Amino acid sequence: MFRVDLGRNALETEAGSQIMTKSLRTIFLCALALAVLAAGAGSAHANSRQVTIMQDDGLLFRSGGAVRDQTLDEMAALGADVIKAQVYWNEISPRVRRKPTGFDSADPASYDFAAYDALVRAIVARGMTPFLVIGNRAPDWAVKKVTKSPHDGIYRPSSKEFRQFAQAVGRRYSGDYNGLPRVELWSIWNEANLASWLAPQRSRKGVPIAPSLYRNLYLAGRGGLADTGHGSDTILLGELMPLGAGSRSKFTPTDFLREMVCLDRAYRPYRGTAAKARGCPKKVKRIPTSGIALHPYLPRAGLRARPRAGEVPITRLSTMTRQLDLLGRRAKLPRRLPIWLTEFGFQTDPPDPFQTAIRRVPGMMDQSEWIAFRNRRVRSYSQYTLRDEGLKPGSRFQRYSGFQMGLRFASGRAKKGVYDAFRMPVFVRLLSSSRVEVFGGLRTGARAVARIESRRRGGRYRPLGKARLSSAGYFRKVLSVGGANVRTYRVTISGHRRVKKPVTP
């Protein structure tokens, strides 16, 4: 897909207005021109601005420089635009219970950024954009109490200390510190609507606590970045996991956002004891942000699952846009916020017998990317991870407790069908017995031509049409063909080829 310079180009939102900076306007106008040209040719690009994000923290900063460079080379070859990494506050801070005497939390030199420095340099050197998620877990001296759970650094983190940490990160990646590149794409805290990342989610009486904790952390983190010259960068809110209905240890994304801005189920401000119990101020002003970061994983039942109220898997992105617009109208968030899909993938069997059969995953990937593409509010699509985690010791369940959603197995072998589906998505949607919609792309094929063919059972492939890929590497074309429902379709782009059957979503 196309490379994009996100420097100071965010849909930044102060005082309730979305400001398109010059570089984003350029991208928007180019996308609009492409859409107009494509419409005249019988094709339409629903979302030519969609960028591709890839993340694999295990390979990128936990496995040494050689593995990092090899991984980035492959990600670049696959057409990634943005490389995401989580900056763990607790891992780069002094590992002590009490804050060291004289420790300057806002000084970049107070932390061990070495692995991230090397990663940011390597990303930029390959023409890709670094994306840092800051915070995630706090050092012992910045939490209310140290828990004995395996999830350290999550119990009521100090927003005051976090602002200073954000200042340190912002200074280090300002473009004016020790020759390091500037970072201009950020997110704050990972999956704050899940108890393993932020606690407590609720009080013993069930009162929501985490949403206000996160609001304070987000505003502190954003403030720290703004203090160091990043106020006009793309700074995302959320990194929200998609499910959570009926659980005390998590929130659905919509409930979390509503509680974060201190509105009840009728979207009225909490007052009195209800507000106090939640940690709500007298008034929650409009929260400035460039967009919402979402991890739209599917329920176990997959694409045809029926999510519960408030849940936002990739099949229900409209649930999120409605919630964002509702909060925008109530002056709690900027209006018409974009959605960034910043973590997504499918766990496969093999290797994990508890997950989706690998033969089904390529089709699910194709359809998911089509869903993201056709939603104009979506700014990114993502793949987490490049390689599966290795199996863990212990019981059968413990062995598969890691993430098995890579494009490659832990051995390094590419997953048949899965690797190709990410590199070159193709989705054929049956519109009628004589019409099909063909969507696809090649992440390194901007402006290339897709050749579309079809055949009946037992017949030969015959040309059906051509489509030029957009600057983002995508195409969409509606074609008329007899017996559309009984045909097989073949798409070829720059020497890469995939064969698909039509489906009815």
pLDDT in tens, 400-443: 888 999 999 999 999 999 999 999 999 999 999 999 999 999 99
Beta strand 462-468 pairing with 449-456: antiparallel
Residue 434 lies inside a defined structural domain of this protein:
no
Write down the pLDDT at residue 14: 34
**Any domain includes 358:** yes
Position 396 scores a pLDDT of: 80
Q: How far apart are CA 53 and CA 132, in angstroms?
A: 12
Residue 64 has pLDDT above 90, yes or no: yes
Q: What does the pLDDT average to over 17-45?
A: 36
At 394 the pLDDT is 84
Domain extent at residue 108: 11-425
- pLDDT value of position 417: 97
On whether residue 484 sits in a domain, the answer given is no
Predicted pLDDT at 48: 61
Buried b (16+ CB within 10 A) or exposed e, 142-161: bbeeeeeeeeebbbbbbbeb
Q: Is residue 477 part of a domain?
A: no
Q: Could you tell me if 50 and 99 are in contact, meaning their C-beta atoms sit under 8 angstroms apart?
A: no
Look up the CATH number of the domain holding residue 261: 3.20.20.80
Collapsing DSSP to helix, strand or coil, 20 comes out as strand
Q: Is 337 domain-assigned? A: yes
Sheet bearing 474-480, strands edge to edge: 426-432, 435-441, 474-480
**What string of H, E and C letters represents the secondary structure of 100-163?**
CCCCCCCCHHHCCCHHHHHHHHHHHHCCCEEEEEEECCCCHHHCCCCCCCCCCCCECCCHHHHH
Decide if pLDDT at 321 tops 70. yes
What is the rounded end-to-end Cα distance, in angstroms, of the chain? 25
Rounded to the nearest 10°, the torsion over CA 56, 421, 347, 244 is 90
- Give the least confident one: 183-192, 218-227, 387-396: 387-396
Which residues neighbour 214 within 8 Å (Cβ) at sequence distance 6 or greater? 189, 192, 193, 198, 256, 260
- Find out whether the peptide bond into 200 is cis, omega within 30 degrees of 0: yes
Per-residue model confidence (pLDDT) at position 505: 77
For residue 82, what are the β-bridge partners? 53, 129
Note every long-range contact of 203-211, with CB atoms under 8 Å and residues 24 or more positions apart, other chains counting.
203/277, 205/277, 206/248, 207/277, 207/278, 208/251, 208/255, 208/259, 208/278, 209/278, 209/279, 210/251, 210/256, 211/251, 211/256, 211/257, 211/259, 211/260, 211/278
Domain count along the chain: 1
Give the single-character DSSP code of 350.
T
Whole-prediction pTM: 0.90
Residue with tokens 């590992």: 95
How high does pLDDT run on average in the chain? 90
Give per-residue pLDDT as tens, 188-243. 999 999 999 999 999 999 999 999 999 999 999 999 999 999 999 999 999 999 99
C-alpha–C-alpha distance, residues 372 and 431, integer Å: 19
Please report, rounded to a whole number, the percentage of residues in the chain having pLDDT higher than 90: 83
Q: How confident is the model at residue 395 (pLDDT cuts 50, 70, 90)?
A: confident
Task: Answer whether residue 463 is part of any domain.
Answer: no
Query: Which pLDDT value is given to residue 40?
Result: 32
For a pLDDT cut of 70, what percent of the chain falls above it?
90
Indicate the pLDDT class of residue 147, thresholds 50, 70 and 90: confident
Does residue 236 sit within a domain?
yes
Would you give the DSSP letter of residue 387? Answer: B
Residue 228 belongs to some domain of the structure: yes
Q: Which of the pair, 61 or 401, is modelled with greater confidence?
A: 61
